[in-house]
């Protein structure tokens, strides 16, 4: 009886006659955008079921190419001829530091401003980590590198707790980060797009197209409001 009804629950999901969309994204998109995007999608497609996977950036591609998810929303897409990568928002690197830090007087942070600082990094298998390290290496600036974390959320928590400073990104216009930190543009700028990703041979999929349009319009509206 219990099992019958569990099966019934499963049927409920499959019953959505207008279909199901399986999306994979990264933790920082959940923090920044997912509520608004899914609210807009819900308003336009009230009978579509949505499944949302959250994975580190470098796994998003696996979920798309393996067909475990229909659509990705992530930063720093890799080049892959089988995958369409459609940029939806341009982001840029920012330096973050705790409130009250000596850097607060500066309008813009360069590598030499961070000489000798405790620097909180992304994990060493992150593409962005290597782009940041390269900038400091070219500027011949040494930092203390003791913490490396997977997610932007985790980096923001450490910085808010006064443990160090970081360069995170891409950061998007109007997005509110952790309270307790200050944010400044970082120069040289490291650009990075937020992109919608899907398999090329599925480009004509009705729900994929619908979700892309929802993402584009939601992000456009959220930029206009700032």
Which position among 65, 92, 127, 147 is part of the footprint of its own copies (CB under 8 A)?
147
Which position among 19, 56, 185, 205 is part of the footprint of its own copies (CB under 8 A)?
56
List C-alpha distances in Å: 193 to 85, 89, 128, 224, 226.
10, 6, 12, 18, 19
Spatial contact of 21 and 211, defined as CB atoms under 8 Å apart = yes
Peptide bond into 37 cis (omega under 30): no
Considering only residues 158 through 177, tell me which ones interact with its own copies, judged by CB under 8 A: 158, 160-163
Report the residue number, 84 or 155, with the smaller CB distance to its own copies.
155
Which position among 82, 87, 142, 203 is part of the footprint of its own copies (CB under 8 A)?
142
What's the CA gap between 7 and 116, in Å, rounded? 59
Binding map of its own copies across residues 30-49, x = CB under 8 A, - = no contact: xx--xxx-xx--x----xxx
| Contact status: 51 vs its own copies (CB under 8 A) | yes
Which position among 124, 173, 206, 221 is part of the footprint of its own copies (CB under 8 A)?
124
Contacts of 18 (CB under 8 A, 6+ apart): 45, 47, 48
Which span (107-115, 136-144, 193-201, 210-218) binds its own copies, by CB under 8 A? 136-144
Of 212, 181, 194, nearest to 75 by C-alpha is: 194
What's the CA gap between 172 and 170, in Å, rounded? 6
| Contact status: 157 vs its own copies (CB under 8 A) | yes
Residue 86, phi then psi, degrees to nearest 5: -110, 105
Residues near its own copies (CB under 8 A): 2, 5-6, 8-10, 12-13, 16, 27, 30-31, 34-36, 38-39, 42, 47-56, 123-124, 130, 133-134, 136-138, 140, 142-151, 153-154, 157-158, 160-163
């Amino acid at each position: 009886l219990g099992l019958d009804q569990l099966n019934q629950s499963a049927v409920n999901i499959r019953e959505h006659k207008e279909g199901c969309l399986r999306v994979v994204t990264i933790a920082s998109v959940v923090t920044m955008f997912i509520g608004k995007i899914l609210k807009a999608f819900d308003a336009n497609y009230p009978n579509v079921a949505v499944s949302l996977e959250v994975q580190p950036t470098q796994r998003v591609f696996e979920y798309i190419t393996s067909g475990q998810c229909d659509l990705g929303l992530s930063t720093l897409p890799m080049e892959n001829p089988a995958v369409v990568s459609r940029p939806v928002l341009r982001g840029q690197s920012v330096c973050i530091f705790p409130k009250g830090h000596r850097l607060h007087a500066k309008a813009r942070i360069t590598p030499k401003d961070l000489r000798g600082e405790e620097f909180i990094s992304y994990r060493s298998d992150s593409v962005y980590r290597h782009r940041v390290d390269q900038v400091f290496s070219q500027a011949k600036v040494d930092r203390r590198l003791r913490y490396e974390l997977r997610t932007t959320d985790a980096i923001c928590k450490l910085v808010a707790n006064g443990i160090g400073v970081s360069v995170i990104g891409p950061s998007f216009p109007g997005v509110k980060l952790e309270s307790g930190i200050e944010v400044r543009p970082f120069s040289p700028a490291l650009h990075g797009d937020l992109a919608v990703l899907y398999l090329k041979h599925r480009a004509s999929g009705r729900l994929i197209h619908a979700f892309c349009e929802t993402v584009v319009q939601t992000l456009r509206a959220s930029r206009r409001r700032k």
